[in-house]
A = this chain, B = another copy of it.
Amino acid sequence: MDNRAIGVCDSGLGGLTAVKEIMRRFPNESIIYFGDTGRVPYGTRSNETVVKYARQDINFLLSFDIKAVVVACGTASSIALPEIGRGFPVPVVGVVEPGARAAARISKKGRVAVIATPGTIRSGAYERALKAIAPEIEVMSIACPLFVPLVEAGRWRRGDIVIETVAGEYLAPVKEFAPDAVILGCTHYPLLSGVISDVLGPDVTLIDVGAQAAEELLSLITPCGEGSRIINRYFVSDNVYNFTHIADMFLEKHIDGHVEKIDIEAY
């Protein structure tokens, strides 16, 4: 057994959807979460900036006694990990490879769509990962820049004309492309599953990349001993109030650990 914690970082709050999936699969593990709320969003920034930020995020998590890092941010996973993902003392898992592997496994028609932030789409990371696994797969990639602000504004529910209109517009070319698997390439997007399914129809499988990353952790880490004490800690780079306020929406429960603000520029 290995009683060290699992580190999870994200550009902000979305990574908590991955934390939720990790907690579901590993009920005895402690989590150290860092949400870079002072510098969110990553999705619209340059590659250089995203690489710098991701390196600092991982370094911060490594200042704790952890056994693995999950980079739950789609933008950081796709832009930064190919460059900086190796050479750390513990396994570092992004969301791109697990998401791509799941899509290749699930798609029977060999048609996969990727929806994500502009930065992730521009990086072409999911497309490259899919082609590396199964070169015959046809891939369509669509950037959805308004999904993150709309989710953070609480506008992710069925029946909201704003998110439904925006989703309808973004997803019209996806519907036409007719994939049977769609990678939700940003950890905010699982909240939009209902709205997205309404547009794309019930035959399209939506892939939660945070859940897939959690799944891959199963083979990479030695779990904590049963009955070991769970201590979850949450860190942010901007004010704590904004975080706790929205965190429950992503975790689907009350946040269960201390939340603290840190200076990420120091890492």
Contact = CB atoms under 8 A, between A and B. Distances in A.
Nearest to A45: B238
Contacts of A165: 161-162, 165
Nearest to A150: B146
Contacts of A153: 145-146
A251 to B, nearest CB: 20
Nearest to A12: B44
A49 interface: yes
A143 to B, nearest CB: 11
Interface string A230-267: 00000000110010000000000000000001000100
Contacts of A166: 162
A170 to B, nearest CB: 11
Interface string A136-169: 0000000001100110110100000110011000
A85 interface: no
A46 interface: yes
A46 B150 contact: no
A196 B190 CA distance: 32
B162 A238 contact: no
A204 B230 CA distance: 57
A39 interface: yes
Contacts of A161: 161, 165
Interface centre among A46, A152, A153 (most CB of B within 10 A): A46
Interface of A: 38-39, 44-46, 48-49, 145-146, 149-150, 152-153, 155, 161-162, 165-166, 238-239, 242, 261, 265
Q: Which 6 A-B pairs have the closest CB atoms?
A: A46-B239, A149-B149, A46-B238, A162-B165, A146-B153, A45-B238
23 contacts: A38-B49, A39-B39, A44-B242, A45-B238, A46-B238, A46-B239, A46-B261, A49-B238, A49-B239, A145-B149, A145-B152, A146-B149, A146-B150, A146-B153, A146-B155, A149-B149, A161-B161, A161-B165, A162-B162, A162-B165, A162-B166, A165-B165, A265-B265
Given A39-B39, A45-B238, A162-B162, 6 more contacts: A38-B45, A44-B242, A46-B238, A49-B239, A145-B152, A149-B149
